[in-house]
Structure 1
């Protein structure tokens, strides 16, 4: 099989991404850039719909189908590689038979193990989502990702889209989502900037400081 057919795009990293990539490999895929968000979901929850909604997010945003290569033959700089397809698998556990204090301890231990597990930036899907059922209509969600993908502000947008997509499955009605700009467009914009002009601007701006 021609593995290049699995690739949608290849492009450089932002300077911030390069820094995180360097430090991650320096720490042997350490935990410095592992982000975890934990929140409670109340009400009925359909796991199939949940998984389908997350998969739609992954299909919609190429950054969630991206791996990061520190060395590419013939190139000096690292590259991020967008894959055409990536399949998401939800991790779900039923803790309803545990006392509440045991549930809390179990989830906290899971969070620590999940953080220590880290991510292989060259192979892994850099986002993991786990659901823990703690009552008939209550789930705790642990949403982990590598910071090289996005910051907290972007995560808020992604979660909003996720809720809209889940609601769309529930109601059977399509949801109007804003058009997506691929991350490669931002990288292209960065590399098109006049660095000398920008340097001169900031030099003048900071003259009196």
Structure 2
């Protein structure tokens, strides 16, 4: 799949919001296909491809965005599902905040509320040795080469990401630089390991695309 059209104005609006995590990147994927009115009809697999998520995850986060009033979804038999991005409902810095899950509070006296247990320290028997002299020291289970191995793994991941971004857009990869850049930024937002150098390359690629857009 290759991106043939991106609505950078819509994408910038979503990126300027306080949406976080997968919700943010599903909204970016929908915004990138929207027309000037915010309407588009990308398939779930297409949204999943741009957002870097599974089809099931995309369906879950679309439902979240619909519940938040950030997109409208219209499904008609025999026709592609139509999505409408509602920009005025996007949470922004200094404006309305992104809804957070409510904290579960257990009132005192409820069945689910448990009292903290009190630790009781018994006096050792006269013949018992001083506990301070018999306490075993914690063993160090860290493999001596663990740090070096982690560095080698991270180095290999970063090298593959850099090479993939540099080669994006060639017939061999099947990905445009814009697609790959969106993938890397999405991985970073989802908490997956992406080096800062590669992340800067990806963001620079998206910025250049935005400036070159008519």
Q: Larger Rg: 1 or 2?
A: 2
More strand by share: 1
Considering Cα pairs closer than 8 Å and 6+ residues apart, tell me whether 1 or 2 has the greater RCO: 1
The question of a shared fold, defined as TM-score above 0.5 by the shorter chain, is answered with no
TM-score using structure 2 length? 0.26
TM-score, length of structure 1 as denominator length:
0.26
